[in-house]
Amino acid sequence: MPEIIEELRARARALGFAVCRVARCTAAPHGGEFGQWLDEGNAGEMGWMERSRERRMNPGKVLAGAQSVIVLGMSYWNGQSKIENRESKIPKFARYALGEDYHELIEGRLHELDGWLEERGGVQKCYVDTGPVLERDFAALAGVGWHGKSTMLISQELGTWFFLAEILTTLEIPADAPAQDRCGSCTRCIAACPTGAIDAPYHLDARRCISYLTIELKGSIPIELRALIGDRVYGCDDCLEACPWNRFARASNETALAAREGVRMPLRELLELTEEDFRRVFRGSPVKRLKRRGLLRNVCVVLGNTGGPEDEAALERAARDPEPLVREHAEWALGEIRQRGN
């Protein structure tokens, strides 16, 4: 159906997507490497990846009769090198988490495209990084970008600051050409990783990744990795920020992605959040999936790394928190601060 591709792209642009390209629905090009990565234990506690292993390797098992994978990209670059705040002790949140939850923002727009494709006889399944699809494989196959040595996708048009979404469809739409790998000899992303999680080009041990440790890991953060987290409360952008292709990043026009109140709060204010406060401040934010206990755990680690005597009272209160996870990390932070003061 070559006649629909330009209208599809026009509709995607009107919905705020900076990129819309198509890949043929086939087995994921790096499915074998993904399976080996799982077998090595690199996914840590992300058990859903193992449970959906076969479907991730072959989207035909996700949607019977799928012919094409429509890949969409939406920029979330805010055009700023940092967030300005009223105090110096401000935690770092990954850029994608500064505003509204992108899942909810994008899902509604995918639904509009789904309805339009349905009118043309297609059956679809739509995902915003929550479905069993190796999305970066198909984004590279469609020419949206290429696999960087950090394992993140890099776009010649958008740099590294963009969300990916996919529509699997039974419509046969002409496929685009893959993008050329343009990393060359650059290894800036590998050098930038604070924990050495990028342990080889194109290979990430998620168990050492700060994004995994501060978001996906639900229990205690390994003591030997806590100091390496630095001032990062939610995720880490270091490998993304290091990429020289970000000189082409396009500022997003999505007002919903602008920084919210919660990500501007000083550390001690975050540590004082009650359950009710947390739900109010982070309603509609990606941070809500961390839950209060996870956020306060991370804040304690950051204060253990960056705090001083003025933070001890707040940490002492946290050390009496009903949540054992919070108490443990608060006690560790107090020990770190007092050791520095000796």
Known catalytic residue at 237: no
- AA letter at 312: E
Alpha carbon separation from 243 to 12, 53, 115, 154, 237 (Å, rounded): 27, 30, 37, 8, 10
Phi/psi at 234 (nearest 5 deg)? Answer: -150, 100
Give the H or E element holding residue 126. Answer: strand 124-127
With 0-12 CB in 10 A as exposed, 13-18 as middle and 19+ as buried, what is 47?
exposed
Question: Which tokens go with 236?
Answer: 């880490």
Q: Computed from CA positions of residues 81, 85, 90, 91, in that sequence, does the dihedral angle turn out positive or negative?
A: negative
Q: How far is residue 30's CA from residue 32's CA, in Å, rounded to a whole number?
A: 5
Q: Count CB neighbours of 325 within 10 A.
A: 18
Alpha carbon separation from 176 to 23, 30, 143 (Å, rounded): 6, 18, 6
Q: How far is residue 186's CA from residue 105's CA, in Å, rounded to a whole number?
A: 34
Map residue 137 onto helix, strand or coil: helix
- Tell me whether strands 232-234 and 19-24 are parallel, antiparallel or unpaired: unpaired
Alpha carbon separation from 61 to 67, 86, 173, 245 (Å, rounded): 12, 51, 19, 35
Question: Which tokens go with 127?
Answer: 């995902």
Q: How far is residue 316's CA from residue 229's CA, in Å, rounded to a whole number?
A: 21
- AA letter at 156: Q
Exactly one of 39, 101, 129, 137 is catalytic; name it.
Answer: 129
Phi/psi at 69 (nearest 5 deg)? Answer: -120, 115
Residues labelled as active-site residues: 129
